[in-house]
Structure 1
Amino acid sequence: MLTHTVLFRLPRPLDAAQRADFVAALQAFAADAPLTAGPVTVTTDLGLRDPANPRVADASLSTTFADVDSFTAYLNHPRHQAMVTKVLEPSGVTWLSMQADTSPS
């Protein structure tokens, strides 16, 4: 199994309406994310640290894939590409992703 986790940071100053719209778009994507092997989880920051801190993310998305081939196909899938080009890039969102082997040992 491969777990794909993405941390998102919205532009500052942080606008509550923009954040709500962004999280709604993430949740809509997560409800029907292509090629995943498990649930897609969207979480939001609790606001416990100063949002001006450049190390604070606003939201995350995490999902699993059966294997590397499934993950690679996901990256190129039209639904994923639309999320990147129609939501992430126009919103000025920055993100970091990490892929980890989470196969049972």
Structure 2
Amino acid sequence: MLAQLMRKSASWMVLWDDRLLEIARKEGHVSPKTAEDSGYVHISNAQISRRCSKLADHGLLRRLPNGVYTITQKGEAYLEGELNADKLTEENGNGDTAEA
């Protein structure tokens, strides 16, 4: 029997954050366009941008030019249930600082 994956989200996270991280992992990046095209996220482009920015602020995504984000090692670890997102602090958006 497979062990159930248990992600440890943070109080600042919302349901869509997991979906955005999953899209970033699957597609190699996430932006409002790729999230909308996935049919997997049902929020506005402005909300997608805000959530991606928040995920980058906590090191789960990395900002690239033109509103595009890629998943970081921390983002991968979170999706695998290996990282407690509640322990992350806001950082510079590049995934460069350590956990709190």
TM-score under structure 1 length normalisation: 0.25
Larger radius of gyration: 1
TM-score under structure 2 length normalisation: 0.26
Question: Relative contact order (C-alpha < 8 Å, sep 6+): which is higher?
Answer: 1
